[in-house]
Structure 1
Amino acid sequence: MDIASTTGTQESPEEQQLRNTLARNLIEVGAARSAPVVAAFRAVRRHLAAPEADMGSTYEPETPTITKTDEHGVHISSVSAPRIQAMQLEQAELEPGMSVLEIGSGGVNAALIAEIVGKSGHVVTMDIDPDVTDRALRFLKVTGYQNVTVLTDDAETGAPERGPFDRIIVTVQAADIPPAWRDQLKDGGRLVVPLRMRGMTRTVAFVRNGEKLVSDGFELCGFVPMQGLGENRVRLAVLHDGKKEQVGLRLDGHPEPDTAVLATSLTLPQAKVWSGVTLGGSESSEHLDLWLTTALDNLPLMAAEPGARTRGLVASASPMGIPALVDGDSFAYRTVRATDEEDRYELGAIAHGPRGEQVAERLVEEIRTWDRDHRSHRAHIEVYPAGTADDRLPATGRRIERRHTRVTITWP
């Protein structure tokens, strides 16, 4: 249904100050770089999308606003953190007059897009969950956006009656790209999607080139997973299940591990191997991790709760996961240690199991390869339709097979 304008609620000086502060913060961290994106964040009254939340928290750059959880307490809908929203809007390269499809609703991001494309443009925002679209409708009505249409439907088939679109922006984690998203995008148009590749999610800006999607930059991110026909969640293989001490491997097309054997290995003394490769304190390991998953076959992510680190089971605890090389009864994961140089850390591997040191050496060797050959490079990602012949794909790199697509990751 289309949104009709209403008067909305009275603005307060505090609210305007929060919006201005948010815009300034997004500029400072490099998330908002263009004038239209900055102006959109200064204009959109995002706190009205979650009236039950503390108003100030909705304007925190790094804080998503959770709007719905499932029966297990898993977050299934949220208003994305402003920094992530700004990042995707910059990736989309929106212009006035464009037609945009947003997949994964909530209202706030649709309003930001509407601000940028203007009255001559149009936004279609869709979600499978009627609770989510009802919330979006209420928000868009009270904030008065007339150039937005809200649809309740499974986005696997897109919105064919509304396309083709200049841009498609996906705000939920996707493991695959349905043909409808490509087909409803104009040739040369941009698809911005948080694409999960072997457990690692990056929001990738793709440009359509006929039947192929070609990456034009990507950023590290985290999103709630997609529901409906396109649902394809990571599975956790648990190695240790103590209270607040859980350790597991996030599997995304990786070989099935022998969890009983690896659980035993987790209790054995650690082996440590250091690479001699260092990172600055503010330098991200995201490109290294993407290299590792390109180069190594069995590299799931090791997720651990803080209690597991406190107890000494693992040296690092991350809910998102740390790359871990698994080989039968042994595994090794990436780690760091401080150096004599201030705010600089050496990369290495910690291993468990009878052959842990050998596995750690393999992981460290790829860290050194990245440092020597690819540190200044960025991966190139392409998406081809499923069924594309091997000889039409890049000859080197990593291939990820999904139901609808064949994804390739290559490096210069």
Structure 2
Amino acid sequence: MHSYPHALAAPAVGGEPAEAVRLRQEMTERIIAGGWAPSSAVQDALRTVPRHRFAPENPLRLAYDDDLALVTSQDETGTAVSSVSAPWLQADMIEKLRLQPGMTVFEAGSGGYNAELIAHVVAPAGRVVTMDLDRYVVQRTRRFTAEAGSGQVTVLLGDGSHGAPGHLPRGGFDGSVITHNCWDVASAWREQLAEGRYLVLPLEIHGYTRAIAFQRHGDVLHARDWTYCGFVRDRGSAARTTPIIDLAGGELQLCHEDGTPPDPTGLEEALRGPRYELPTGVTVAGNESFETLQLYAATTLPAFCRLAGARNTALAHLPHSADAAATVADGSMAYLTYVLVKDGETPEERRSEFVVHAVGPAGTELAERMAACVRSWDQHVRGTGYPEMTVHPAGTPDHALPIGHVLDKTSSRLVFQWPGQPPAAQGTAEAAVLAESGGSR
């Protein structure tokens, strides 16, 4: 448990300074201008709920920064374990719930502010059940919602991956939102959700996180909306530590969140050997997002992992010291980076080209495979948005899944249907092998 004296010893609630009102209105207008809060209900919630009352450790100007997540609890290493998320992202996720007055909503991961925004949207007869496993977080959430809240929020101590069966309305929750990174989609979230309603959660897919709105149809969840994002990681029973393989004495790491970890045998020698470079011919502007390329590579390339560097190293040319999409096989590795090929005064004028780097005896073959993936994304996926995606219960047999790229988790099976992918299915045995590596059925 962590103590924050300013939060726990705050004076009794009175009025609020005019500066808070002004800053809140300005924050709301910025979020509306960004397109994150199109509905009048969410706009009114942003204008009304006093965000600074749920993050009293921070000055007003930070409390009403529309792009800033405010850390409210840290572990012994200083890593954030609880926060009040950036307001634009909270607004976006609430919009994805498609709420109406009178609905009952479940939230896993408390803080108070997000729950009160939701409560305002479902007022006057709606209700929010919010849960957290951290006693300190629950303590402060209960206090803040009592002092500055609507009276419509119930705060529970518990593991959010189990949902809130003791508070389940008839027919299920009208919406559920998870406010921490999720490696898996817990069965309880689907089972406790009303038919046709929406679950919004930040889902990790090979280490890439997207806030996805899923609509329930029976035992299957259908992805409807996607947003690039990042949250603190889950700490409950469903939490998962990323498997990491150190290379070159820790200069590089292979991160493999899903499937079978790659065999690093031979990679140390390969990294110190010649490096093959293969330009893809695919370029992006300086301000252009290629977030769908990350997921396309992660879900279609066999033996996918990410190559990360603890510091700049001559052994690998990582993109701006960030991690790189990679694939490993036969003591060899290929990874994706990009280089500036055209400079300019504005981001629109600058262009970078995706280039594959590869090492090891099978490096050339792996590089060709990754380059083909990038070119396929450019031809079929780029500009089309995210794929059709469904989430099925673990144990669903292959023949009952739609044709697509299968990613198995503990409680669920994810199926991605990308444009331009071969429609034919393989046999059951081959499908199982491909599913384990993130391949196609």
TM-score normalised by the chain length of structure 1 = 0.90
Match of 2:66 among 61, 74, 77: 61
CA contact (8 A) 2:272 2:315 kept: no
Q: Residues 267, 34 of structure 1: CA spacing in aligned structure 2 closer, same or farther, 3 A cutoff? A: farther
Partner of 2:295: 290
Partner of 1:146: 151
CA contact (8 A) 2:195 2:218 kept: yes
1:374 aligns with 2:381: yes
Find the aligned partners of 2:280 and 2:63 in 1 and give their Cα distance.
41
Find the aligned partners of 1:54 and 1:264 in 2 and give their Cα distance.
52
Q: Residues 259, 186 of structure 1: CA spacing in aligned structure 2 closer, same or farther, 3 A cutoff? A: same
Find the aligned partners of 2:340 and 2:14 in 1 and give their Cα distance.
52
SS of equivalent to 1:62: coil
Partner of 1:314: 317
1:338 aligns with 2:340: yes
Partner of 2:306: 301
Match of 1:399 among 406, 409, 422: 406
Q: CA RMSD in A?
A: 2.2
Q: Residues 267, 55 of structure 1: CA spacing in aligned structure 2 closer, same or farther, 3 A cutoff? A: farther
SS of equivalent to 1:339: strand
1:308 to partner: Cα distance:
1.6
1:35 aligns with 2:37: no
**Cα offsets for 1:47-83 (capped at 9, x unmatched):** 2222223332232233211122222333221111222
Find the aligned partners of 1:338 and 1:30 in 2 and give their Cα distance.
31
Partner of 2:438: none
**Cα offsets for 1:190-224 (capped at 9, x unmatched):** 00011112222211111000111111121111111
Partner of 2:135: 130
Q: Residues 277, 146 of structure 1: CA spacing in aligned structure 2 closer, same or farther, 3 A cutoff? A: same
Q: Residues 46, 373 of structure 1: CA spacing in aligned structure 2 closer, same or farther, 3 A cutoff? A: same
Find the aligned partners of 1:113 and 1:390 in 2 and give their Cα distance.
38
Q: Residues 267, 15 of structure 1: CA spacing in aligned structure 2 closer, same or farther, 3 A cutoff? A: farther
Map 1:25-174 → 2, pairs under 5 A: 25-163=30-168, 164-174=172-182
1:358 aligns with 2:360: no
SS of equivalent to 1:228: coil
CA contact (8 A) 1:381 1:410 kept: yes
Q: Which moved more, 1:152-161 or 1:325-334?
A: 325-334
Partner of 2:8: none
Structure 2: gaps (5+ residues): 1-10, 344-348, 420-441
Find the aligned partners of 2:248 and 2:51 in 1 and give their Cα distance.
40
CA contact (8 A) 1:247 1:308 kept: no
Find the aligned partners of 2:19 and 2:302 in 1 and give their Cα distance.
52
1:7 to partner: Cα distance:
7.3
Partner of 1:16: 21
Map 1:189-268 → 2, pairs under 5 A: 189-240=197-248, 246-259=251-264, 261-268=266-273
Number of positions where the alignment pairs a residue of Structure 1 with one of Structure 2? 400
SS of equivalent to 2:190: helix
Partner of 2:415: 408
Find the aligned partners of 1:324 and 1:123 in 2 and give their Cα distance.
42
**Cα offsets for 1:152-183 (capped at 9, x unmatched):** 01122211122221000011111222222111
Find the aligned partners of 1:25 and 1:271 in 2 and give their Cα distance.
46
SS of equivalent to 1:161: helix
Find the aligned partners of 1:241 and 1:23 in 2 and give their Cα distance.
48
Find the aligned partners of 1:66 and 1:238 in 2 and give their Cα distance.
30
Find the aligned partners of 1:317 and 1:240 in 2 and give their Cα distance.
19
Find the aligned partners of 1:139 and 1:401 in 2 and give their Cα distance.
39
1:262 to partner: Cα distance:
2.8
Q: Percent identical across equivalent pairs? A: 37
Amino acid at match of 1:168: S
1:269 to partner: Cα distance:
4.9
TM-score normalised by the chain length of structure 2 = 0.84
CA contact (8 A) 2:271 2:315 kept: no
1:350 to partner: Cα distance:
2.7
